[in-house]
Amino acid sequence: MHSDSKRMLTEFITQLNIEKRASPHTLLNYQRDIIQLEQYCSKQNIILWIDVTQTDIRSHIANRHRTGLSSKTIQRELSAIRSFFNFLLKTNIVENNPAQHIKAPKQARKLPKSLDVDQINGLLDALTTSSLEIRDLAMFELFYSAGIRLTELSSLNLNDVDLADKTILIRSGKGNKSRILPIGNKAINAITLWLKHRANHLVPTESALFTSNRGTRLGQRSIELRLNIWCKKKGINEKIHPHMLRHSFASHLLESSQDLRAVQELLGHSNISTTQIYTHLDFQHLANIYDKSHPRAKKIVLPLSLSKQ
């Protein structure tokens, strides 16, 4: 490109450094990203930044995507390009920002792994040998029984659990939304047993349902570590984290009920599309439901006289 165009890039990086106080890492990435665009423009015989069009930006981004770059990296490159052209707009070098309305390809959401029913039984039917393991089992049973988040379990207070009604109250769910959830008999029994030992691990003013051996609320990191210790001690080689129990809850419940709305409510999702992505059904199971339910999928039974012709 023209030497003036290269000078504009240098001035842009200088502005980021002095006025925006961008980190060295950001400066290096932004400079590299704009140079990638500059190289594309040179191949297209585009000499000045004012000649770059929205089509050029879209084509450049498509080329970058074809090289195998992740959506996250392309989003960063687009952010750098938008910032650069905003700089050019302010300095009256260009008349518009051609990257303003260009979007990066969406990143495919990776589903967390779930455990099958036998794996869950192997995890939760193990024997306990101490009061802390009794507490741990109660936590893991509650994860799977109610499908709650790690933050929600850590935040539970003693008065949030109604053993008689077999429910728990989530006061501070995602988006500060509360919800009441049913819990099963296995979780009820495990919590009841833990409450008998809880008094031995308690600071008098502590309201937390699950407490450490010092009597204070058990933190999220500690819960994750206890699950790792539990799995190693029980001979489970696969790395299991709390979110896998939540995902297993959702998967198993949806596979059995096919009630997406109910699972959405239990998980505390504000948008059902999140539940559709978060959970998965066996395709053959769906196909069987389709074959049985859809009017145009049912087999036509021919009259006996016609079927013999």
pLDDT tens string 53-78: 999 999 999 898 888 888 888 989 99
Q: Which of 68, 64, 71 is nearest to 32 (CA)?
A: 64
Q: Of the listed 174, 179, 186, 234, which one is catalytic?
A: 174
pLDDT at 174 over 90: no
How far is 40 from 53, CA to CA, in rounded Å? 12
3-90 and 117-283 in the same fold: no
> Element (H or E) spanning 162, and its range?
strand 161-162
Q: Which of 225, 253, 252 is nearest to 241 (CA)?
A: 225
pLDDT (mean) for 243-256: 77
Q: Residue 115: how many CB atoms within 10 A of its CB? A: 21
262 vs 190, residue with greater confidence? 190
Say which range, 61-75, 89-103, 219-233, 275-289, has the weakest mean pLDDT: 275-289
Say which range, 6-20, 72-86, 230-244, has the weakest mean pLDDT: 230-244
pLDDT (mean) for 110-127: 79
How far is 134 from 200, CA to CA, in rounded Å? 12
Architecture per CATH, 3-90: Orthogonal Bundle (1.10)
Say which range, 8-22, 82-96, 207-221, 294-308, has the weakest mean pLDDT: 294-308
Q: Of the listed 60, 135, 149, 247, which one is catalytic?
A: 149
* Residue 246 is a catalytic residue: yes
Percent of the chain with pLDDT over 90: 37
Percent of the chain with pLDDT over 70: 78
Domain ranges of the chain: 3-90, 117-283
pLDDT at 193 over 80: yes
Q: How much is the pLDDT for 65?
A: 86
Q: How much is the pLDDT for 309?
A: 45
* Residue 103 is a catalytic residue: no
Q: Of the listed 135, 198, 226, 246, which one is catalytic?
A: 246
Q: How much is the pLDDT for 218?
A: 92
The domain made up of 117-283 has a fold known as hpI Integrase; Chain A (1.10.443)
pLDDT at 281 over 50: no
* Residue 269 is a catalytic residue: yes
Q: How much is the pLDDT for 291?
A: 65
pLDDT single digits (tens) 196-245: 998 887 788 889 999 998 889 999 999 999 999 998 887 877 788 888 88
* Residue 76 is a catalytic residue: no
Q: Of the listed 217, 226, 247, 269, which one is catalytic?
A: 269
